[in-house]
C-alpha cells in the first residue's frame, strides 16, 4: 500500500508501450461459488440496540454483512474496501443509519489479514467515508457517546509484525474530523479491548496488550500490558490492578455488566498459570477477585479474550474459547456452549430475549434459541478462507482447496440450480491447505497443518492412505511449513512432490519417497525455536514452523527444471531434476533479504522464464513484490507498479498471451495486459479480498481464485483480455473471437428449499457474444440480431452498451410460436425452439454503422446421433408451424363468428362456436379451475415436450403427432365447409398469415 508508492520502478526504461486495463472490463464479472457450509472466521458481532431483526457480522477476511431478519439471511455491505474487519459499531443515537467499521481483525493468529483504517456510513451501509487510521492495521473497538454522537473513542490494537506508533486510545469530539491520541504506551503495545459504562459515558476502560508476531514466533505479554480506567472521558487514566497477579501480563478482556455497571469482568493472561483466568470486580474496578482458571477461560488468550455479559443479568457471563463457555453464577463456574464449530470469538445476546444468542466462530455464525445449549449455523455467509485452490478437467470442472480450520474440500464449478452446500465434498480434516487432483486417476491428495497427515484418497473406492514423507536415517528431522507445499507433474501423472526443508519426490503417488535436494532453506537456527513460542501462554501449534520450503513448481515444458521457494527467502532452481541447485535470490535487486517466497510460476511459454512472488508482511513490509526472469534466474526484473495495492501472494500467467498476467494481493485481483508495465484492479463483483491463490482453467479459460474470506471466486472466460491491444482498444466496436458455442442439453433439475442458504452462481450455459466498445453507447438506437448466414433474422437480442467488454447471452433459441387466442394460457406455447447447429452471425446496428460477427454453434458431444437431432428439429418445427397455423385458423374463425353474429346468422354462429370449442379452451382459469385441454393445448404441449427433450421424438410422441395432425386437418376442412355459408363472409378483410404473425 503505502510502501508501494515508494517502490522503485524497476520497469522504467522499457521500450514497450503500456496498455492500461482501467475501465476495459465492462461486463466481465466475477461469480462467487462459496462454499458457505463451513463458512469462515468471524471477528465481531453487533446487534441493533432497538430492532431485534437487524444485526451485523464483522468477518475476519470477508467484509461486513448485514441481516434484516435476525441472522437468517445476510447481504455484504462493505465490498468496496478491505475485507479484514476488527469491529462494527452502531451509533447509539442513530443506530438505523450510522455504522462505524474498524478494519483489521484482532484475533491475531498466524494467518490474519490486515485492515485499512476506520470507516463510517451514515446511510446504513450504502456509502462509506474514511475517517483515517491508515496505518492502524487492526482496530479493536469503536465506542460512540450515547448522547453526543460527535464524541467517538477508537481503540487501536495496531501492527502485529512491527513496531507502530499508531496504537492506543484515540478520541474525537468533532464527529471524526480530528483525533487525539489519549492513551498510548509504546510501539509494541496496543488496545486489546475497551468498554464504556452505560450509565456514565465518561467512564471508560481500556486494556493495553504488549504483543508481537514474526514468521517464526509469537509473543504475548510483557510489563506494559495493563488495564486502565478513566472517569473523565479519557483525559486521565489509571491502572486498576488491585487484586491482579504480579509480573508481566498478557491479553486482557474487559466487560461491564449492562444491568449493573459496578460489575466488571476481565480475563487475565499472567505469568503463573494458577493466577490466570477470570476476575470480577463488584466496585467498578476498585478491587478484583479471581473466580476461575478453567481451560476454556485461559486457553489461547490472543485468540479468545472476549467476555460478554447478558444485558439483563450481571451474573450470566459468556467467554469466548475453544468451545466457548457460559456461567450463570456470576463467573464462578462455567459450562461449555453447545456443539458448533470450535474457536468462539464473539457472542451477542438478542435485545428481546437472552435465550436467543448469536455466536461468531472460526466456522461462521451460529444462533441459539435456548441460551447457548443448542446452536444452528447460518447458511448464508460465504466467508470460507482458502489457502490454496486447484482445478481438474471434469465437465464442469471441480475446484479443490483447503481452508483455515475447516478442512479440505472439493466441489463443482457449476451445478444445476446453483452451487449449494450439498455439492461440496469433504476431503480432509484439521486446517486444510493444498488439495490436488491426480492428473489422470480418481485420486485426490490433501493435507493438514504441517503435513502432520497427507492423504491420498481414492474417490471411487473411498479409500484413504496417509502418505507424507517421513524421517529417514539420512534425514531424521523434517521441517514442514504449516501450509506445506505439494505438487503434481504434467509429465508423469503418478509423480508427487512435497517440500520440507528438502524437496521430496515420489514416482508412485507417495508410496515411496526420495529426497532430491539438499536443505534449500537458510536453516537459520534463530528461526527454529517454535517450542518457545507464545509468550506468557505457550502456543506451539506448528503454525510458526519456519525455514521451510513453501512453493514448488515443475516446469510444464521440461520435467528436469524445478523451482523451489522458501519461507525464508530462497529462490532455488534445478535444471537437472535435482542433481544440482542454484539459489538465485541474490540476483534480485530491490528485494529485502529473507522475504518469504509465496509463489513461483514456471512459464508455459519458455523454459527459462518464471515469475516469483514475495510476501514480506510477516516482517511488517506491506509492499507487493513480483519478479520475472527469462534466463533461469540469472537476472530478474520487477513487474510491480505503484498501481498494485496490498502485498502480493499469487500470480497466474495466461497460457496464450505472455503479457497477460493476473496478480492476487491482500486487496484483491490485479490484471496487466502489458507484462507488468501497468496494472488495473479488477472490481466487477470482486471485492478487495485477500487472494491467496490463482489458477487458470485450461479448458474454459476461467480464472479461479482462492480467497481468504470470500470462498472461491471465478472470473469466467478471460479470453477477451488476450485480444486487447492498442488497435482493438481504439475501435468503436470490436467483436472478440469466439470458440464454437455448445448447445447445452443437460438436465436443469436443481436445488430447492435453499431460501436461507447461500447459492453459488453458475457459469452461463448460453452462447456468449463478446465485443469491445471504446465508448459507452448512450444516445441513439443500438440493436442486435442473430441471423443465419443468408441474413435472415433468427431472433432479436439486446446488446450491451458499456464502454469496454460487453457480453451478450443467447440461449440458441428462436422466437416462441404465435399461439391461438383462448380463454387461458397455453403454457406449452411459451417454449422457444432451439436452432440447429451451424454457422450464424451476430449483427449489431449502432447508428448508421453495422458490425457483423460470424460464429459457430455446435451440438454437445453426448452420444446423440445427428439423425436423431434432425428428427427432433423436424418434428419440433412442424409442430411450431402447426401451432401458428392453428392460431391463424382461430383468428379467422373469430372473424367469421363476428360476421355471423352481425348478420344474425345464428345457425352458423353455433356451428362455428362448436368448431372453436374444439380448437381452444374457452372457459376456466390457469390453475386448478382449468378446463379440459383442447387442440391448441394438446398441440402446444406436444410441441413443448418434443422441443425440450433430447434426441428423436419417441414412438408415443409420433403417434400423438399423427392424432393431432389429423384432428387439425379435420378442423380446417370443417372451417372451409362453414366459410361459404356465413353471410357476408366473402366481404371480410382478413389479414394474411404473414400479417397475422406480426400482430400483437
Partner 1 sequence: MKTLRFTVLALALALGTSLQAQTADEILDNYFENIGGRENLKAVTGMKMTAKVNQQGMEIPLEIYQLSDGRQMTVIKFQGKEIKQGVFDGETLWSTNFMTMKAEKSDAEATANFKLNTNDFPDSFLDYKDKGYTVEYVGEESVEGTPAYKIKLVKEPLTIDGETKEDVAFYYFDTENYVPIAMESEIHMGPMKGQMSWVTFSDYQEVDGLYFPFSMSQGVKNGGSQPITMETIELNPEVDAAAFAFPEEVAETKE
Q: Which residue, 165 or 925, is less far from partner 1 as judged by CB?
A: 925
Q: What is the spatial distance between Cα 815 and Cα 694, in angstroms, rounded to a whole number? A: 41
User: Which parts of 16-45 interact with partner 1 (CB under 8 A)?
Assistant: 23-27, 29
Shortest Å, Cβ 659 to partner 1: 21
Cell of 714: 471465478
Q: Which helix (H) or strand (E) holds 915?
A: helix 906-919
Instruction: Answer yes or no whether residue 922 interacts with partner 1 by CB under 8 A.
Output: yes
Give 613's strand partners: 599, 626
Q: Which residue, 73 or 738, is less far from partner 1 as judged by CB?
A: 73
Instruction: Answer yes or no whether residue 996 interacts with partner 1 by CB under 8 A.
Output: no
User: Which parts of 868-907 interact with partner 1 (CB under 8 A)?
Assistant: 894
Instruction: Answer yes or no whether residue 124 interacts with partner 1 by CB under 8 A.
Output: yes
Q: Which residue, 290 or 765, is less far from partner 1 as judged by CB?
A: 765
The neighbour count for residue 355, using CB atoms within 10 Å, is 13
Q: What is the spatial distance between Cα 599 and Cα 587, in angstroms, rounded to a whole number? A: 17
How many residues touch partner 1 (CB under 8 A)? 69
Residue selected from 61, 411, 829, 953 as contacting partner 1 according to rule CB under 8 A: 829
Q: In this structure, what are the phi and psi dihedrals at residue 979, rounded to the nearest 5 degrees?
A: -50, -50
Instruction: Answer yes or no whether residue 823 interacts with partner 1 by CB under 8 A.
Output: yes
Query: Near partner 1 by CB under 8 A, which window of 271-279, 663-671, 904-912, 917-925?
Result: 917-925
Q: In this structure, what are the phi and psi dihedrals at residue 609, rounded to the nearest 5 degrees?
A: -95, 135
Q: Which residue, 356 or 761, is less far from partner 1 as judged by CB?
A: 761
Residue 807 near residue 27 (C-beta atoms within 8 A) = yes
Give 99's strand partners: 90, 121
The distance in angstroms from the start CA to the end CA of the chain is 59
Residue selected from 164, 657, 701, 826 as contacting partner 1 according to rule CB under 8 A: 826
Instruction: Answer yes or no whether residue 743 interacts with partner 1 by CB under 8 A.
Output: no
Instruction: Answer yes or no whether residue 580 interacts with partner 1 by CB under 8 A.
Output: no
Q: Is 59 left (phi over 0), alpha (psi -120 to 50) or beta?
A: beta
Query: Near partner 1 by CB under 8 A, which window of 172-180, 483-491, 642-650, 823-831?
Result: 823-831
Shortest Å, Cβ 721 to partner 1: 14
Shortest Å, Cβ 547 to partner 1: 43
- 3-class secondary structure, 636: coil
Residue selected from 182, 344, 520, 797 as contacting partner 1 according to rule CB under 8 A: 797
Shortest Å, Cβ 363 to partner 1: 22
Instruction: Answer yes or no whether residue 962 interacts with partner 1 by CB under 8 A.
Output: no
Q: DSSP per residue over 460-511, as a string?
A: TTTEEEE------SS-------TT--EEE-SS-TT-EEEESSSEEEESSTTS
Instruction: Answer yes or no whether residue 801 interacts with partner 1 by CB under 8 A.
Output: yes
Q: Which residue, 6 or 126, is less far from partner 1 as judged by CB?
A: 126
Residue 232 near residue 543 (C-beta atoms within 8 A) = no
Q: Which residue, 425 or 809, is less far from partner 1 as judged by CB?
A: 809
Q: Which residue, 622 or 759, is less far from partner 1 as judged by CB?
A: 759
Residue selected from 655, 825, 859, 996 as contacting partner 1 according to rule CB under 8 A: 825
Q: Which residue, 336 or 885, is less far from partner 1 as judged by CB?
A: 885
Shortest Å, Cβ 752 to partner 1: 13
Residue 813 near residue 833 (C-beta atoms within 8 A) = yes
Shortest Å, Cβ 533 to partner 1: 42
Give 445's strand partners: 436, 456
Cell of 288: 478484583
Q: What is the spatial distance between Cα 980 and Cα 977, in angstroms, rounded to a whole number? A: 7
Instruction: Answer yes or no whether residue 746 interacts with partner 1 by CB under 8 A.
Output: no
Q: DSSP per residue over 580-611, as a string?
A: S-EE-GGG-SS--TT-EEEEEEE-SS-TT-EE
Residue 192, C-beta contacts closer than 8 angstroms, at least 6 positions apart: 106, 140, 155, 157, 207, 208, 209, 251, 252, 253, 305
The neighbour count for residue 15, using CB atoms within 10 Å, is 4
Shortest Å, Cβ 416 to partner 1: 17
Residue selected from 461, 462, 781, 848 as contacting partner 1 according to rule CB under 8 A: 781
Residue selected from 5, 12, 126, 473 as contacting partner 1 according to rule CB under 8 A: 126
User: Which parts of 677-736 interact with partner 1 (CB under 8 A)?
Assistant: 684-685
Residue 39 near residue 378 (C-beta atoms within 8 A) = yes
| Closest-CA residue to 86 (of 140, 131, 123, 164) | 140
Q: DSSP per residue over 223-283, as a string?
A: TT-EEEEESSTTSS-EE--TT--SS-B---EEEE-TT-TT-EEEEE-BSSGGG-EEEEESS
Q: What is the spatial distance between Cα 20 and Cα 205, in angstroms, rounded to a whole number? A: 50
Q: Which residue, 68 or 658, is less far from partner 1 as judged by CB?
A: 68
Q: Which residue, 223 or 847, is less far from partner 1 as judged by CB?
A: 847
Instruction: Answer yes or no whether residue 804 interacts with partner 1 by CB under 8 A.
Output: yes
Q: What is the spatial distance between Cα 819 and Cα 825, in angstroms, rounded to a whole number? A: 9
Query: Near partner 1 by CB under 8 A, which window of 253-261, 359-367, 799-807, 955-963?
Result: 799-807
Shortest Å, Cβ 66 to partner 1: 6
Give 948's strand partners: none
Residue selected from 40, 117, 822, 953 as contacting partner 1 according to rule CB under 8 A: 822
Shortest Å, Cβ 419 to partner 1: 15
User: Which parts of 384-403 interact with partner 1 (CB under 8 A)?
Assistant: none
Q: What is the spatial distance between Cα 358 and Cα 389, in angstroms, rounded to a whole number? A: 31
Q: Which residue, 607 or 683, is less far from partner 1 as judged by CB?
A: 683
Instruction: Answer yes or no whether residue 762 interacts with partner 1 by CB under 8 A.
Output: no
Q: Which residue, 274 or 994, is less far from partner 1 as judged by CB?
A: 994
Q: Which residue, 156 or 887, is less far from partner 1 as judged by CB?
A: 887
Return the exposure string of 99-117: e unless at least 16 CB atoms fall within 10 Å of the residue's CB, then b: bbbbbbbbbbbbbbbbbbb
Shortest Å, Cβ 824 to partner 1: 7
Residue selected from 476, 727, 780, 980 as contacting partner 1 according to rule CB under 8 A: 780
Q: How many CA atoms lie within 13 A of 848 on its CB side?
A: 0
User: Which parts of 51-110 interact with partner 1 (CB under 8 A)?
Assistant: 51, 53, 66-69, 73-75, 77, 97
Backbone CA torsion sign across 234, 238, 239, 242: negative
What is the Rg, in whole angstroms, of the alpha carbon atoms belonging to the chain?
34
Q: Which residue, 131 or 613, is less far from partner 1 as judged by CB?
A: 131
User: Which parts of 205-224 interact with partner 1 (CB under 8 A)?
Assistant: none
The size of the chain, in residues, is: 1000
Residue selected from 267, 340, 503, 920 as contacting partner 1 according to rule CB under 8 A: 920
Shortest Å, Cβ 397 to partner 1: 22
Q: Which residue, 122 or 981, is less far from partner 1 as judged by CB?
A: 122
Residue 224 near residue 249 (C-beta atoms within 8 A) = no
Instruction: Answer yes or no whether residue 411 interacts with partner 1 by CB under 8 A.
Output: no
Q: Which residues bind partner 1 (CB under 8 A)?
A: 23-27, 29, 51, 53, 66-69, 73-75, 77, 97, 123-124, 126-127, 684-685, 755, 761, 766, 775-782, 795-798, 801-804, 810-811, 813-816, 819-826, 829-830, 832-833, 894, 916, 920, 922, 925-927, 929, 1000
Amino acid at each position: 500500500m503505502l510502501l508501494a508508492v515508494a517502490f522503485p520502478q524497476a520497469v522504467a526504461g522499457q521500450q514497450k508501450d503500456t496498455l492500461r486495463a482501467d475501465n476495459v472490463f465492462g461486463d466481465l464479472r466475477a461469480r462467487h461459488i462459496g462454499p458457505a457450509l463451513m463458512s469462515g472466521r468471524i471477528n465481531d458481532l453487533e446487534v441493533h440496540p432497538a430492532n431485534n431483526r437487524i444485526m451485523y457480522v464483522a468477518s475476519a477476511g470477508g467484509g461486513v454483512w448485514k441481516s434484516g431478519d435476525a441472522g437468517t439471511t445476510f447481504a455484504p455491505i462493505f465490498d468496496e474496501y478491505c475485507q479484514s474487519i476488527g469491529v462494527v459499531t452502531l451509533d447509539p443515537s442513530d443506530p438505523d443509519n450510522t455504522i462505524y467499521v474498524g478494519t483489521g481483525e484482532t484475533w491475531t493468529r498466524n494467518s490474519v489479514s490486515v485492515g485499512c483504517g476506520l470507516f463510517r456510513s451514515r446511510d446504513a451501509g450504502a456509502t462509506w467515508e474514511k475517517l483515517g487510521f491508515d496505518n492502524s492495521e487492526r482496530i479493536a473497538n469503536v465506542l460512540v457517546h450515547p448522547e453526543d454522537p460527535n464524541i467517538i473513542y477508537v481503540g487501536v490494537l495496531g501492527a502485529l509484525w512491527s513496531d507502530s506508533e499508531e496504537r492506543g486510545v484515540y478520541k474525537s469530539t468533532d464527529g471524526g474530523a480530528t483525533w487525539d491520541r489519549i492513551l498510548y504506551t509504546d510501539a509494541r503495545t496496543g488496545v486489546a479491548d475497551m468498554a464504556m459504562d452505560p450509565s456514565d459515558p465518561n467512564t471508560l476502560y481500556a486494556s493495553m496488550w504488549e504483543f508481537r508476531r514474526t514468521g517464526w514466533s509469537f509473543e504475548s505479554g510483557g510489563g506494559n500490558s495493563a488495564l486502565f480506567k478513566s472517569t473523565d472521558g479519557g483525559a486521565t487514566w489509571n491502572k486498576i490492578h488491585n487484586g491482579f497477579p504480579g509480573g508481566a501480563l498478557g491479553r486482557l478482556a474487559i466487560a461491564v455488566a449492562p444491568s449493573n455497571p459496578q460489575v466488571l469482568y476481565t480475563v487475565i493472561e499472567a505469568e503463573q498459570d494458577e493466577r490466570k483466568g477470570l476476575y470480577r470486580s463488584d466496585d467498578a474496578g476498585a478491587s478484583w477477585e479471581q473466580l476461575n482458571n478453567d481451560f476454556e477461560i485461559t486457553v489461547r488468550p490472543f485468540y479468545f479474550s472476549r467476555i460478554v455479559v447478558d444485558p439483563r443479568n450481571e451474573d450470566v457471563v459468556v467467554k469466548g474459547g475453544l468451545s466457548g463457555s457460559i456461567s450463570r453464577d456470576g463467573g464462578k463456574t462455567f459450562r461449555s456452549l453447545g456443539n458448533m464449530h470450535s474457536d468462539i470469538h464473539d457472542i451477542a445476546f438478542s435485545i428481546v430475549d437472552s435465550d436467543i444468542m448469536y455466536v461468531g466462530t472460526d466456522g461462521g455464525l451460529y444462533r441459539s434459541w435456548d441460551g447457548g445449549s443448542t446452536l444452528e449455523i447460518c447458511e448464508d455467509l460465504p466467508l470460507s478462507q482458502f489457502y490454496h485452490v486447484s482445478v481438474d478437467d471434469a465437465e464442469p470442472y471441480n475446484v479443490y482447496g483447503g481452508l483455515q480450520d475447516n478442512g479440505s474440500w472439493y466441489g463443482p464449478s457449476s451445478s444445476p440450480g446453483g452451487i449449494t452446500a450439498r455439492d461440496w465434498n469433504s476431503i480432509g480434516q484439521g486446517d486444510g491447505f493444498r488439495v490436488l487432483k491426480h492428473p489422470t486417476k480418481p485420486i485426490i491428495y490433501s493435507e493438514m497443518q504441517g503435513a502432520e497427515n497427507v492423504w491420498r484418497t481414492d474417490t471411487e473406492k473411498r479409500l484413504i492412505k496417509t502418505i507424507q514423507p517421513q524421517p529417514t536415517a539420512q534425514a531424521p528431522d523434517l521441517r514442514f511449513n504449516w501450509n506445506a507445499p505439494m505438487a503434481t507433474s504434467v509429465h508423469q501423472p503418478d509423480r508427487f512432490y512435497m517440500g520440507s526443508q528438502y524437496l521430496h519426490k515420489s514416482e508412485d503417488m507417495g508410496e515411496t519417497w526420495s529426497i532430491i535436494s539438499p536443505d534449500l532453506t537458510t536453516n537459520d537456527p534463530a528461526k527454529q525455536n517454535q517450542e518457545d513460542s507464545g509468550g506468557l501462554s505457550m502456543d506451539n501449534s506448528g503454525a510458526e514452523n519456519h525455514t521451510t520450503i513453501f512453493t514448488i513448481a515443475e516446469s510444464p515444458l521440461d520435467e528436469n527444471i524445478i523451482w523451489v521457494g522458501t519461507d525464508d527467502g530462497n529462490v532455488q532452481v534445478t535444471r537437472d531434476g535435482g542433481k544440482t541447485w542454484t539459489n538465485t535470490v541474490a540476483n534480485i535487486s530491490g528485494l529485502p533479504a529473507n522475504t518469504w517466497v509465496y509463489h513461483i510460476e514456471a512459464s508455459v511459454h519458455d523454459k527459462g522464464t518464471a515469475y516469483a512472488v514475495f510476501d514480506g508482511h510477516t516482517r511488517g513490509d506491506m509492499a507487493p513484490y513480483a519478479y520475472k526472469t527469462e534466463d533461469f534466474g540469472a537476472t530478474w526484473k520487477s513487474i510491480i507498479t505503484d498501481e498494485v495495492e496490498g502485498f502480493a501472494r499469487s500470480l497466474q500467467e495466461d497460457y496464450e498471451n505472455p503479457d497477460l498476467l493476473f496478480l492476487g494481493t491482500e486487496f484483491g485481483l490485479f490484471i496487466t495486459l502489458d507484462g507488468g508495465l501497468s496494472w488495473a484492479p479488477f472490481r466487477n463483483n470482486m471485492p478487495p479480498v485477500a487472494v491467496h491463490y490463482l489458477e487458470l482453467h485450461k479448458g474454459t479459460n476461467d480464472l479461479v481464485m482462492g480467497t481468504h474470506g470470500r470462498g472461491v471466486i471465478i472470473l469466467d472466460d478471460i479470453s477477451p483480455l488476450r485480444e486487447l491491444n492498442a488497435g482493438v482498444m481504439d475501435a468503436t466496436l470490436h467483436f472478440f473471437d469466439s470458440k464454437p458455442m455448445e448447445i447445452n442439453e443437460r438436465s436443469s433439475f436443481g436445488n430447492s428449499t435453499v431460501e436461507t442458504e447461500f447459492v453459488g452462481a453458475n457459469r452461463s450455459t448460453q452462447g456468449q457474444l463478446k465485443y469491445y466498445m471504446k465508448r459507452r453507447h448512450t444516445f441513439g438506437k443500438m440493436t442486435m440480431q442473430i441471423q443465419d448466414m443468408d441474413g435472415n433474422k433468427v431472433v432479436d437480442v439486446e446488446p450491451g452498451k458499456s464502454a469496454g467488454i460487453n457480453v451478450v447471452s443467447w440461449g440458441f433459441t428462436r422466437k416462441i410460436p404465435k399461439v391461438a387466442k383462448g380463454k387461458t394460457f397455453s403454457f406449452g406455447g411459451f417454449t422457444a425452439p432451439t436452432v440447429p447447429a451451424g454457422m450464424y452471425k451476430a449483427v449489431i446496428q449502432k447508428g448508421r454503422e453495422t458490425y457483423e460477427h460470424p460464429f459457430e454453434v455446435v451440438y454437445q458431444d453426448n452420444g446423440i446421433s445427428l439423425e436423431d437431432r434432425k428428427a427432433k428439429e423436424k418434428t419440433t418445427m412442424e409442430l411450431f408451424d402447426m401451432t401458428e397455423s392453428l392460431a391463424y385458423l382461430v383468428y379467422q374463425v373469430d372473424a367469421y363468428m363476428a360476421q355471423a353474429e352481425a348478420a344474425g346468422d345464428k345457425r352458423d354462429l353455433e356451428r362455428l362456436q362448436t368448431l372453436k370449442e374444439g380448437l381452444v379452451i374457452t372457459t376456466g382459469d390457469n390453475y386448478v379451475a382449468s378446463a379440459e385441454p383442447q387442440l391448441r393445448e394438446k398441440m402446444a404441449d406436444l410441441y413443448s415436450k418434443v422441443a425440450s427433450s433430447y434426441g428423436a421424438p419417441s414412438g408415443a410422441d409420433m403417434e400423438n403427432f399423427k392424432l393431432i395432425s389429423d384432428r387439425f386437418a379435420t378442423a380446417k376442412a370443417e372451417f372451409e365447409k362453414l366459410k361459404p355459408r356465413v353471410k357476408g363472409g366473402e366481404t371480410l378483410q382478413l389479414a394474411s398469415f404473414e400479417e397475422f404473425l406480426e400482430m400483437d
